[in-house]
A and B are shown apart, each in its own frame.
Chain A
Amino acid sequence: MIKHFLNFEWKQFFRSSYWQKSIALNILMGFLALYFMLTFLILGISIYPLLKKQFPESDPLILVNGFLFYWFLGDLVMRFFLQKLPVVNIKPLLTLPIKRSSILNYVLGKSAISFFNFLPLFAIIPFGVILIFEDYSTTTALIWMLLMYIFTLIINFLNFIIEAKSAETELSFLPIIAIASGLFALNYFEIISISSLLGNAVNSIISNPLLILIPLAILVGLYAFNYLELKKKLYVDGSLKAKAAVATTTDLAWTRRFGDIAPFLQLDLKLLWRNKRPRSTIFILVIGLLYGLIFYPNPTYQNMPAMFVFVGIFVTGIFMINFGQFIPAWDSGYYKLLMSQNIKYKQYLNSKYSLMTISAVIMFVLSIPYVYFGWKILAIHFAAMVYNIGVNSHVLLFGGSFNRKKIDLTQRAAFNYQGTGAVQWLIGFPLLLIPILFFYIPYKFINFEAGIITLIVLGGIGIIFHQKLMNFITKRYLTSKHKMISAFDQNN
Chain B
Amino acid sequence: MIKSTELSKKYGDVTVLNIPSLEIPKGQSFGLVGNNGAGKTTYFNLLLDLIKPTTGKVINNEIQVNKSEDWKPFTAAFIDESFLIGYLTPEEYFYFIGELRGMNKADIDTFLNQFSEIFNEEIIGRKKYLRDLSKGNQKKAGIVAALIGNPEVVILDEPFANLDPTTQIRLKKLLKDLTKNSKTTLLVSSHDLGHVTEVCERIVVLEKGNIVKDIKTSEETLKELEAYFSV
Known contacts A249-B89, A334-B83, A482-B52; A341 and B100 CB within 8 A of each other:
yes
B73 within 8 A of A: yes
Q: Determine the distance from Cα of A284 to Cα of B47 in the docked complex, in whole angstroms.
A: 42
B72 within 8 A of A: yes
Decide if B82 touches A333 in the complex (CB within 8 Å). Answer: yes
Decide if B84 touches A341 in the complex (CB within 8 Å). Answer: no
Chain A residue numbers with a CB within 8 Å of B49 are 339-340
Decide if B51 touches A333 in the complex (CB within 8 Å). Answer: no
A332 nearest CB neighbor, chain B only: B82
B152 within 8 A of A: no
Contact of B87 among A244, A275, A340, A343 (CB under 8 A): A275
Decide if B77 touches A270 in the complex (CB within 8 Å). Answer: no
Decide if A336 touches B82 in the complex (CB within 8 Å). Answer: yes
Chain A residue numbers with a CB within 8 Å of B99 are 262-263
Decide if B52 touches A247 in the complex (CB within 8 Å). Answer: no
Q: Determine the distance from Cα of A250 to Cα of B149 in the docked complex, in whole angstroms.
A: 23
Mark out the residues of chain B between 55 and 89 whose CB falls within 8 Å of any chain A CB in the assembled complex. Answer: 69, 72-73, 75-77, 79-80, 82-89
Decide if B73 touches A337 in the complex (CB within 8 Å). Answer: no
Decide if B100 touches A267 in the complex (CB within 8 Å). Answer: no
Q: Determine the distance from Cα of A275 to Cα of B82 in the docked complex, in whole angstroms.
A: 17
Contact of B86 among A262, A263, A333, A341 (CB under 8 A): A333
Decide if B50 touches A247 in the complex (CB within 8 Å). Answer: no
Mark out the residues of chain B between 17 and 32 whose CB falls within 8 Å of any chain A CB in the assembled complex. Answer: none
Chain B residue numbers with a CB within 8 Å of A482 are 50-52
Known contacts A274-B87, A337-B85; A267 and B96 CB within 8 A of each other:
yes
A464 within 8 A of B: no
Known contacts A334-B82, A334-B84; A342 and B127 CB within 8 A of each other:
no
Chain A residue numbers with a CB within 8 Å of B69 are 344-345
Decide if A247 touches B127 in the complex (CB within 8 Å). Answer: yes
A478 nearest CB neighbor, chain B only: B69
User: What does the 1/0 interface line of A322-340 toward B look like (CB < 8 Å)?
Assistant: 0000000000011111011
Decide if A489 touches B131 in the complex (CB within 8 Å). Answer: no
Smallest distance from the beta carbon of B138 to chain A beta carbons, Å? 11
Decide if B83 touches A337 in the complex (CB within 8 Å). Answer: yes
Chain A residue numbers with a CB within 8 Å of B89 are 247, 249
Mark out the residues of chain B between 97 and 140 whose CB falls within 8 Å of any chain A CB in the assembled complex. Answer: 97, 99-101, 105, 127-129, 131-132
Q: Determine the distance from Cα of A343 to Cα of B76 in the docked complex, in whole angstroms.
A: 12
Chain B residue numbers with a CB within 8 Å of A341 are 72, 76, 97, 100
Decide if B96 touches A334 in the complex (CB within 8 Å). Answer: no
Decide if B86 touches A410 in the complex (CB within 8 Å). Answer: yes
A341 nearest CB neighbor, chain B only: B100
Smallest distance from the beta carbon of B120 to chain A beta carbons, Å? 18
Known contacts A244-B132, A410-B131, A482-B51; A263 and B100 CB within 8 A of each other:
yes
Which of B48, B97, B132 has the most C-beta atoms of chain A within 10 angstroms of its own C-beta? B132
A485 within 8 A of B: yes
Decide if A246 touches B127 in the complex (CB within 8 Å). Answer: yes
B158 within 8 A of A: no
Decide if B84 touches A247 in the complex (CB within 8 Å). Answer: no
Q: Determine the distance from Cα of A305 to Cα of B136 in the docked complex, in whole angstroms.
A: 60
Chain B residue numbers with a CB within 8 Å of A486 are 51
B129 nearest CB neighbor, chain A only: A247
Contact of A409 among B48, B50, B87 (CB under 8 A): B87
Q: Determine the distance from Cα of A274 to Cα of B48 in the docked complex, in whole angstroms.
A: 29
Decide if B96 touches A340 in the complex (CB within 8 Å). Answer: no
Known contacts A267-B96, A271-B87, A334-B83; A340 and B75 CB within 8 A of each other:
yes
Q: Determine the distance from Cα of A344 to Cα of B100 in the docked complex, in whole angstroms.
A: 10
Q: Determine the distance from Cα of A210 to Cα of B13 in the docked complex, in whole angstroms.
A: 67
Q: Determine the distance from Cα of A333 to Cα of B86 in the docked complex, in whole angstroms.
A: 8
Q: Determine the distance from Cα of A340 to Cα of B45 in the docked complex, in whole angstroms.
A: 10
Known contacts A247-B128, A263-B96, A342-B100; A489 and B82 CB within 8 A of each other:
yes
A203 within 8 A of B: no
User: What does the 1/0 interface line of A368-411 toward B look like (CB < 8 Å)?
Assistant: 00000000000000000000000000000000000000000110
Q: Determine the distance from Cα of A341 to Cα of B79 in the docked complex, in whole angstroms.
A: 12
Q: Determine the distance from Cα of A248 to Cα of B87 in the docked complex, in whole angstroms.
A: 11
Chain B residue numbers with a CB within 8 Å of A246 are 127-128
Known contacts A340-B49, A409-B87, A482-B51; A245 and B96 CB within 8 A of each other:
no
Q: Determine the distance from Cα of A482 to Cα of B84 in the docked complex, in whole angstroms.
A: 19
Q: Determine the distance from Cα of A343 to Cα of B73 in the docked complex, in whole angstroms.
A: 8
Decide if B132 touches A485 in the complex (CB within 8 Å). Answer: no
Smallest distance from the beta carbon of B210 to chain A beta carbons, Å? 23
Contact of B100 among A249, A334, A339, A343 (CB under 8 A): A343
Chain B residue numbers with a CB within 8 Å of A340 are 48-50, 72, 75, 77, 83
Known contacts A244-B132, A342-B73; A485 and B88 CB within 8 A of each other:
no
Decide if B92 touches A270 in the complex (CB within 8 Å). Answer: yes
A266 within 8 A of B: yes
Decide if A270 touches B88 in the complex (CB within 8 Å). Answer: yes
Chain A residue numbers with a CB within 8 Å of B76 are 341
Known contacts A263-B96, A336-B50, A486-B51; A343 and B132 CB within 8 A of each other:
no
Ranked nearest first, the 4 interchain pairs of A and B with the lowest CB-CB distance are A244-B132, A337-B83, A274-B87, A340-B48
Known: A336-B79, A339-B49, A343-B100. 13 other contacts (CB 8 A): A246-B127, A247-B128, A249-B91, A249-B127, A251-B105, A262-B99, A270-B88, A275-B87, A333-B82, A336-B48, A336-B50, A342-B101, A482-B52
Residue positions of A touching B, CB distance < 8 A: 242, 244-249, 251, 262-263, 266-267, 270-271, 274-275, 333-337, 339-345, 409-410, 482, 485-486, 489
Q: Can you list 7 A-B pairs with a CB-CB distance of less than 8 A?
A: A249-B91, A263-B99, A340-B50, A340-B72, A341-B97, A341-B100, A486-B51
